[in-house]
């Protein structure tokens, strides 16, 4: 390389660019922008019990509160699932339609650890990641021989196969239709109290189900140990995903998506890159499965059903495939609708519209009714269609559009000064 740096013309033109484009590392090996994003996500997840419970407990709007442990846990666990899926789909463009299989396999591995070893969640979670990774290696090795729709079908076939096997032939390992639960007579060789009482999932004694309730006025906030464990795991997963996105490996994955032909003729073997991405994303799915078991010690084969695989695809696309935060947002949105919109029933609707004359009230309720309760899927479908048509970049693109709108308005107010201020950091 000395020949390039000694070339005076090259060196001169390269130097100013180097100064401005060298990424300053803010902290933890992240650029300033990514670090800010990480801080925001940390704040959101840590304060979630407050943020998700904005309405007083007894009020009519309390049904929109999502700050209860079960749902908050699902937010972050599916967030992990979607972050992992996005590493494969968002970066390489390979659409796996069987990712729930890894989630399921991870869950089974975790419950077996809890049955055989200990109710401490650490071995369960670790094994779920390892087993899912190995399974992903096998599935990926075969499926990645094809691309496009054929790849999707292969992964779907594997997942449905796993589902069917778990349901039938593998009953001794999977418990078949009834699934597996923690039981009193599990061996749990590392637990002192095994055999006498039903163990509870714990982290070195801290039970995952234990919660602390904070009462402020009419508001009630729940801080759940399980949620915070899952949230911390998600933050680690999110941090690792950012690092991966900004790494040479991440760049190569985007190259796979962009032009595989050029990649091969550039001396790069795309297969190991896609396989590594597949395994990593399978491990994220396994991690999510392990955490599910840690929060609620039971597994059933329906966790691997194709609709579960489809759900994570929806989450990622809804939030914004290929973006860092998008999949987490998508996961949150879908889980919120699934749990909150589905709870609204016609009685609640009648209450809302009770100020209207009777006939009009009934008519409105009749119109809205198909979209709530069991009809939440219809609402989700419409939201999904709207997002795909108007915001192909997902909710993240929507956010960017809104931000740009605000900035434009600001600029009108601030005039030339704010314009100059905006240019400064870009240089």
Q: 3-state DSSP: the chain helix, strand, coil percent, rounded to 5?
A: 70, 5, 25
Q: Which is nearer to other proteins, 22 or 189 (CB)?
A: 22
Residue from 160, 139, 169 nearest 151 by CA: 139
| Nearest distance from C-beta of residue 134 to other proteins, angstroms | 17
By beta-carbon proximity to other proteins, the closer residue of 102 and 273 is 273
- What is the rounded CA–CA span in Å between residue 221 and residue 209? 15
Choose which of 40, 47, 251, 363 interacts with other proteins (CB under 8 A).
Answer: 251
Q: Does 35 bind other proteins (CB under 8 A)?
A: no
State in angstroms the smallest separation of the CB of 32 from other proteins: 12
Q: Which of residues 217-246 bind other proteins (CB under 8 A)?
A: 240, 243-244, 246
Decide: is 375 part of the binding site for other proteins (CB under 8 A): no
Of 59, 196, 247, 409, the one binding other proteins (CB under 8 A) is 247
- What lies within 8 Å, CB to CB, of 304 at 6+ separation is 100, 101, 103, 104, 105, 159, 162, 163, 166
Q: Which of 58, 172, 192, 248 binds other proteins (CB under 8 A)?
A: 248
Stretch in the footprint of other proteins (CB under 8 A) among 14-22, 203-211, 308-316, 373-381: 14-22
**What is the distance between the terminal CA atoms of the chain, rounded to a whole angstrom?**
27
Cα 87 to Cα 4, 79, 82, 273, 280, distances in angstroms: 36, 13, 9, 12, 8
Which residue's CB is nearer to other proteins, number 240 or number 337?
Answer: 240
- Look at the block and give the residue holding tokens 């077996």: 112
Q: Does 424 help bind other proteins (rule: CB under 8 A)?
A: no
**CA-atom Rg of the chain in angstroms:** 25
- Applying CB under 8 A, does 172 fall inside the site for other proteins? no
249 binds other proteins (CB under 8 A): yes
- Residue 67 backbone dihedrals phi, psi, to 5 degrees: -85, 35
Kindly report the backbone phi and psi dihedral angles of residue 139, in degrees, each rounded to the nearest multiple of 5, phi listed first: -65, -45
The contact pattern for other proteins, residues 279-318, with x = CB under 8 A and - = no contact, is -x--------------------------------------
Compare residues 80 and 100 and give the one whose CB is closer to other proteins: 80
Verify binding: residue 350, other proteins, rule CB under 8 A.
no
Beta pairing partners, 214 = 221
Cα–Cα dist 12/32, whole Å? 27
Q: Strand 180-181 and strand 202-203: pairing?
A: unpaired
**Bridge partners of 223?**
212
Q: By CB under 8 A, is residue 22 in contact with other proteins?
A: yes
Q: Are 97 and 155 in contact (CB under 8 A)?
A: yes
Q: How far is the CB of 371 from other proteins (least distance, A)?
A: 37
Provide the minimum distance between the beta carbon of 271 and other proteins in the complex, in angstroms, as a whole number: 8
- Name the minimum Å distance from CB 35 to other proteins: 12
Residues of this chain that bind other proteins (CB under 8 A) = 1, 4-5, 7, 9-10, 13-14, 17-18, 21-23, 25, 29, 31, 240, 243-244, 246-252, 254-255, 257-259, 261-270, 272-273, 276, 280
């Amino acid at each position: 390389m000395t020949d390039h740096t000694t070339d005076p013309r090259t060196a001169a033109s390269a130097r100013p660019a180097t100064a401005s484009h060298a990424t300053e590392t803010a902290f933890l090996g992240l650029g300033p922008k990514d670090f800010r994003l990480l801080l925001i996500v940390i704040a959101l997840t840590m304060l979630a019990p407050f943020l998700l419970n904005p309405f007083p407990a007894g009020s009519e709007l309390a049904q929109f509160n999502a700050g209860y442990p079960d749902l908050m846990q699902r937010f972050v666990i599916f967030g992990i699932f979607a972050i992992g899926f996005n590493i494969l789909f968002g970066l390489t463009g390979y659409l796996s339609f069987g990712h729930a299989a890894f989630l399921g396999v991870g869950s089974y591995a975790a419950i077996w650890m809890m049955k055989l070893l200990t109710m401490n969640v650490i071995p369960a979670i670790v094994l779920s990641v390892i087993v899912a990774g190995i399974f992903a290696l096998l599935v990926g090795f075969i499926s990645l021989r094809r691309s496009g729709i054929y790849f999707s079908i292969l992964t779907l076939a594997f997942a449905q196969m796993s589902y069917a096997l778990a349901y039938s032939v593998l009953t001794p390992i999977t418990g078949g239709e009834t699934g597996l639960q923690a039981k009193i007579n599990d061996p749990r060789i590392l637990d002192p109290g095994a055999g006498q009482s039903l163990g509870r999932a714990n982290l070195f004694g801290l039970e995952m189900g234990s919660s602390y309730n904070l009462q402020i006025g009419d508001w009630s906030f729940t801080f759940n140990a399980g949620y915070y464990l899952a949230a911390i795991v998600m933050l680690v997963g999110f941090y690792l995903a950012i690092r991966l996105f900004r790494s040479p490996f991440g760049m190569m994955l985007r190259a796979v998506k962009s032009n595989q032909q050029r990649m091969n003729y550039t001396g790069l073997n795309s297969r190991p890159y896609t396989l590594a991405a597949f395994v990593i994303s399978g491990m994220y799915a396994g991690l999510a499965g392990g955490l599910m078991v840690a929060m609620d010690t039971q597994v059933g084969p329906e966790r691997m059903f194709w609709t579960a695989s489809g759900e994570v695809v929806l989450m990622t696309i809804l939030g914004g495939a290929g973006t860092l935060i998008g999949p987490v947002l998508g996961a949150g949105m879908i889980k919120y609708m699934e749990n909150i919109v589905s709870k609204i029933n016609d009685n609640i609707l009648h209450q809302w519209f009770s100020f209207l004359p009777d006939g009009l009230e009934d008519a409105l309720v009749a119109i809205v009714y198909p979209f709530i309760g069991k009809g939440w899927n219809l609402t989700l479908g419409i939201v999904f269609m709207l997002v795909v048509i108007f915001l192909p970049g997902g909710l993240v693109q929507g956010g960017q559009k809104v931000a740009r709108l605000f900035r434009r308005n600001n600029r009108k107010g601030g005039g030339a000064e704010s314009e100059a201020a905006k240019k400064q950091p870009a240089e």
